[in-house]
């Protein structure tokens, strides 16, 4: 596996895997609704490589930013959860592929994408009861698999993923430092994410969904400091977790 993953920020990542290029939840705008970006966007979206697909996890504004699609050519397929096509199809000319939970899409020869469960409420501000389906995705190439979770709380389906896929690399969020029950029903904190990592079989892991937006709610400095403290206590975890600042990349040999 020749893998390079760029953490562009929030849930936006660029996966470059043996000639396969996939973008997740593109968000290049300076703000989301009333929330400003905490640091300037380092990655230049005009320098995106030729993309094979865009993966959209759900319809929240920080994951479906319609202003960002001006940087994405209209021939790139956009893969979304089932029932979400109307939220995006009127704004873009790209091919739209809806995936039901656990269904698979053959992207190209030898490459499949599976929509997997995520525990998170979807919806848009004006349509809170529509477009509520949320997905993570497993990208499979031969016998190797990469998991992008999108937004999710901890869930028992992580054990199912381990049974179905031999995961080599995962993108898991550390979206909050709160222990409040209602938040942890929507997002994972550091302890939840580590528990998830163990349930998935302890693959290589890049933390995402931190350091870009929502400082008041999530305190990104505290989140990453909390994770770094866990790494100091657990050498096995430290070998597998790859903390990358927004705008920078990690390559797996």
Could you report the per-residue pLDDT of 184-219, keeping only the tens digit for each? 677 788 999 999 999 999 999 999 988 887 655 556
Q: What is the pLDDT of residues 104-151, one digit of tens each?
A: 999 999 999 999 999 887 666 555 446 668 899 999 998 999 999 999
Model pTM?
A: 0.93
Sequence-ordered strand ranges (E) for 67-203: 78-81, 96-99, 104-108, 111-117, 135-141, 144-148, 167-173
Q: Which CATH superfamily does the domain covering 3-252 fall into?
A: Ribonuclease Z/Hydroxyacylglutathione hydrolase-like (3.60.15.10)
Residues 6+ apart with CB under 8 A from 60: 122, 123, 124, 151
Q: How far apart are CA 182 and CA 1, in angstroms?
A: 39
CA distances from 114 to 46, 81, 106, 149, 212 (A): 28, 11, 9, 11, 27
In 3-state terms, what secondary structure has residue 172? Answer: strand
Residue ranges covered by each domain of the chain: 3-252
What does DSSP say about strands 20-24 and 53-55: parallel, antiparallel, or unpaired? parallel
């Amino acid at each position: 596996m020749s893998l390079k993953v760029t953490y562009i920020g929030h849930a936006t990542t660029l996966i470059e895997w043996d000639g396969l290029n996939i973008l997740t939840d593109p968000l290049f705008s300076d703000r989301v609704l009333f929330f400003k970006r905490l640091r300037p966007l380092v990655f230049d979206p005009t320098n995106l490589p030729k993309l094979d697909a865009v993966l959209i996890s759900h319809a929240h504004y920080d994951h479906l930013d319609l202003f960002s699609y001006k940087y994405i050519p209209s021939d790139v397929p956009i893969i979304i959860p089932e029932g979400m096509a109307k939220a995006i199809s009127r704004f873009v000319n790209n091919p739209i592929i809806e995936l039901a939970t656990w269904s698979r899409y053959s992207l190209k020869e030898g490459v499949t994408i599976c929509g997997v469960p995520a525990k998170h409420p979807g919806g848009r501000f004006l349509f809170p009861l529509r477009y509520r389906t949320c997905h993570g995705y497993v990208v499979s190439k031969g016998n190797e698999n990469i998991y992008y979770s999108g937004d999710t709380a901890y869930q028992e389906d992580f054990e199912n993923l381990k049974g179905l896929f031999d995961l080599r690399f995962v993108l898991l969020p550390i979206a909050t430092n709160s222990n409040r029950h209602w938040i942890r029903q929507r997002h994972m904190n550091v302890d939840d994410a580590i528990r998830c990592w163990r349930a998935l079989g302890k693959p290589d892991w890049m933390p995402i969904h931190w350091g870009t937006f929502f400082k008041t709610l999530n305190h990104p400095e505290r989140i990453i400091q909390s994770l770094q403290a866990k790494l100091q206590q657990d050498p096995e975890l430290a070998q597998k977790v790859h903390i990358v600042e927004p705008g920078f990349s990690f390559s797996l040999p």
